[in-house]
């Protein structure tokens, strides 16, 4: 266990002795010390958390610190903090070049947080807009690396549950993509699923999840298919003006074909064949193994780079 992880383990025992103030987790001032980590300014804000930059003063290494901002009753907030810390512990067991490294999590003065590696680059939403799309070969490399990351998590019995462009960071200079925000990642029989709470982003949720079934590796692969489609087409496969119409489309409609959206561009039909199994309505028709699909994506990428001579 590295020194930072040991410090975080001690913090997870609970409230710091002699410090009764409860700071606002969404407004921690620059310079706040969390053990050996000194916080910098917030770099991103989500619905339930804030991501701060930070420096681990023992190594002078930059880190990212995700701080939970729970809402609801005190009991609901306490449950959210407990789930957040469990997820931090789960994520810290995943060591893979395409999964963000989580060093640990803790709670001090009622603030729950996790410390992660600092990532260069931007999340993939930057490259999902027409006019900013990445080359097809780069997109296939990204999708294959994310599939490998999911395969690693699935072998550990972990389902991500919220695969989407906003939860993957791509560094063009290093040509590295990293799966992030395993805040919903958990064992497939997570309590929230049993209670009927919808966790995740509906646009990326597999049809069976909308019907109330538990998440499993095949639902992660469906979400990967939506992400891949969006990177290639500049739009998700299903769009609608209302949430109800969107859910109906996800449950019943067939996705449009890339070869139609892209005006018959050469190679689009092969890309359609690669994506179609991921977006199958029936989870039993999706790939059984994410790594095997990743190998198919890499073969298709090679064909794009150097098509066979005719």
Catalytic residue among 162, 181, 220, 272: 162
Tell me whether residue 272 is one of the annotated catalytic residues: no
CB 25 within 8 A of CB 50: yes
Alpha-carbon Rg for the chain in angstroms:
20
Burial of 172 (0-12, 13-18, 19+ CB in 10 A): middle
**For 21, phi and psi rounded to 5 degrees?**
-70, 145
Task: Tell me the two tokens of residue 35.
Answer: 């053990």
Long-range contacts formed by 167-170: CB under 8 A, 24+ apart: 167/123, 168/123, 168/124, 168/142, 168/227, 169/100, 169/119, 169/121, 169/122, 169/123, 169/124, 170/121, 170/122, 170/123, 170/124, 170/127, 170/142
Cβ(251)–Cβ(211) below 8 Å = yes
Closest residue by Cα to residue 159 from 222, 247, 228, 252: 222
CA quadruple 265, 271, 273, 275: dihedral sign? negative
Q: Rounded to whole angstroms, what are the CA distances from 170 to 33, 98, 165, 177?
A: 29, 10, 10, 4
User: Do the strands 61-68 and 102-108 form a parallel or antiparallel pair, or are they unpaired?
Assistant: unpaired
Structural tokens at position 171: 């560094």
On whether the CB atoms of residues 196 and 158 are closer than 8 A, the answer is: no
3-state DSSP assignment of residue 286: coil
Which active-site residues does the annotation give? 162
């Amino acid at each position: 266990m590295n020194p930072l992880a040991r410090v975080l383990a001690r913090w997870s025992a609970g409230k710091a002795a002699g410090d009764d103030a409860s700071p606002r987790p969404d407004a921690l001032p620059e310079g706040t010390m969390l053990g050996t980590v000194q916080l910098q300014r917030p770099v991103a804000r989500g619905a339930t958390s804030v991501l701060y930059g930070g420096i681990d003063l023992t190594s002078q290494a930059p880190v990212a610190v995700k701080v939970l901002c729970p809402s609801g009753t005190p009991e609901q907030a306490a449950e959210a903090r407990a789930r957040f810390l469990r997820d931090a512990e789960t994520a810290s067991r995943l060591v893979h070049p395409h999964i963000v490294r989580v060093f640990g999590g803790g709670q001090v003065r009622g603030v729950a947080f996790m410390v992660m590696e600092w990532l260069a680059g931007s999340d993939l939403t930057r490259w999902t807009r027409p006019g900013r799309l990445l080359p097809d070969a780069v997109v296939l490399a990204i999708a294959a690396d994310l599939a490998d990351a999911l395969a690693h998590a699935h072998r550990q019995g972990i389902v991500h549950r919220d695969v989407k462009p906003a939860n993957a960071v791509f560094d063009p200079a290093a040509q590295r993509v990293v799966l992030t925000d395993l805040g919903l990642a958990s064992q497939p029989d997570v309590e929230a699923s049993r209670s009927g709470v919808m966790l995740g982003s509906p646009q990326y949720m597999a049809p069976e999840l909308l019907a109330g079934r538990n998440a499993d590796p095949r639902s992660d692969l469906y979400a990967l298919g939506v992400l891949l489609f969006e990177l290639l087409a500049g739009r998700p496969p299903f769009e609608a003006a209302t949430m109800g119409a969107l859910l109906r489309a996800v449950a019943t409609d067939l996705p449009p074909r890339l070869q139609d959206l892209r005006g018959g561009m050469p190679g689009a039909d092969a890309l359609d064949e690669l994506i179609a199994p991921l977006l199958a309505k029936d989870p039993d028709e999706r790939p059984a193994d994410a790594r095997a699909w990743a190998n198919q994506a890499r073969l298709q990428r090679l064909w794009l780079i150097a098509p066979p001579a005719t």
